[in-house]
Amino acid sequence: MTRLHLFDLDGTLMYGSAAPVEISRQLGLEQEIADLERAFARQVLGPPEFALRVRELWAELTEEQVALAFEGAPWLDGIREVWADIAARGERCAVISLSPDFFVRRLLEWGAHATYGSVFPAVPFREPVRPDGILNPTAKVKIADELCERFGVTRSECVAYGDSMSDAELFAVLPTSVAVNADRHLAGIASYAYVGRDLRDAYELTSNRRPLP
């Protein structure tokens, strides 16, 4: 059976952190991003407002700092191995994240067949963020449906991996899902739950696969 595996990034592929946090760390703005993350978690800020605020926060951001943030992020072990196994089986994998697209698309080099993130201007920023390019939880469902059409599968052939409230809508419409180091928002929604730092173990929950090396 051909399947499509849909991965969240922040808190899912990345253990206990998020792309905005890792980027802000490179700029010495840990406290500022922590304040924004708390406001976002409390829904004081929605995705467009959060994006506008971080665009202001990252006014001096460079490509080198983005690269350092990506390389130094606390990624789960086994991501490339999982995606290589998916490809070897003739299946597909994609990353759908609310984080900036210039960060998310770097995962194409690790083997993702497609990546989607909130649309930001090129780094270094010379243009404003357009609110209509910022993703939200509902957009994840829409993108999943577009990917189903692109890869010739149905929702019943999808597996979602996520950790938080932004994944709840997607989990609700797919029959198979894995809560990875998840918070309370996915309790009772996910098909499986995994706590740990190796994506291979979360991936193997979805079928009787032989453990990956």
Q: Rg of the Cα trace of the chain? A: 17
What local confidence, expressed as pLDDT, does residue 192 receive? 95
End-to-end CA separation in angstroms for the chain: 23
Spatial separation of the C-alpha atoms in residues 33 and 133, rounded to whole Å? 21
pLDDT digits (tens, 9 = 90+) for 127-175: 999 999 999 999 999 999 999 999 999 999 999 999 999 999 999 999 9
Q: CA dihedral in degrees (50, 94, 172, 99; nearest 10)?
A: -10
What local confidence, expressed as pLDDT, does residue 181 receive? 96
Helices (H), the chain: 19-26, 30-41, 47-57, 63-72, 79-88, 101-104, 137-151, 168-173, 199-204
Tell me, what amino acid is at 101?
A: D
Mean pLDDT of the chain: 94
pLDDT digits (tens, 9 = 90+) for 26-54: 999 999 999 999 999 888 999 999 999 99
pLDDT band at 207 (very low <50, low <70, confident <90, very high): confident
3-state secondary structure of 210: coil
> Residue 79 in contact with residue 147, Cβ under 8 Å?
no
pLDDT digits (tens, 9 = 90+) for 80-123: 999 999 999 999 999 999 999 999 999 999 999 999 999 999 99
For residues 169-192, average pLDDT: 93
* Residue keyed to tokens 């996520």: 162
pLDDT band at 187 (very low <50, low <70, confident <90, very high): confident
Tokens of 152: 């010739």
Q: Which of 14, 5, 9, 10 is nearest to 174 (CA)?
A: 5
